[in-house]
Amino acid sequence: MSAKSDNNATCLPIISWVQKIALYETKARLFIIGSNNTQTRFRVLKIDRTEAKELNVIDDKLEYNQQEIRELLVM
C-alpha cells in the first residue's frame, strides 16, 4: 500500500496490519491497543493523564503478543 503526493514522494504506513483498536484507562494513563484481525500481534500507545498542561504520548515501537498485553494491563 502506498500513496503518492504531488512531489512524487512515496508515503508508506508505519503500521499496515492494525485491524482492531481498544481503549483501556487507569487513573494515570490511557492505553490505546491496536491488533491484527486474529489478535496475535499488538501495538500500544500510552497517554499520560497526570500532566494537565501537556500531552504526553508514548509509542515504545514494540510489538506485543496476547500474554504481554494482559501483563501490561494488569500493572
pLDDT values of the chain reduced to their tens digit, one per residue, 75 residues: 445 545 777 766 655 677 899 999 999 999 999 999 888 999 999 999 998 889 999 999 999 999 999 999 887
Residue 9 domain flag:
no
Residue 21 domain flag:
yes
Residue 11 domain flag:
no
The pLDDT, as a whole number, for residue 18 is 79
Q: Can you name the residues that pair with 32 across neighbouring β-strands? A: 23, 45
Domain count, the chain: 1
For the entire predicted model, the pTM comes to 0.71
Q: Can you name the residues that pair with 12 across neighbouring β-strands? A: none
Residue 8 domain flag:
no
What residue numbers bound the domain in which 61 lies?
A: 16-74
Through-space distance between the first and last CA atoms of the chain, rounded to whole angstroms: 36
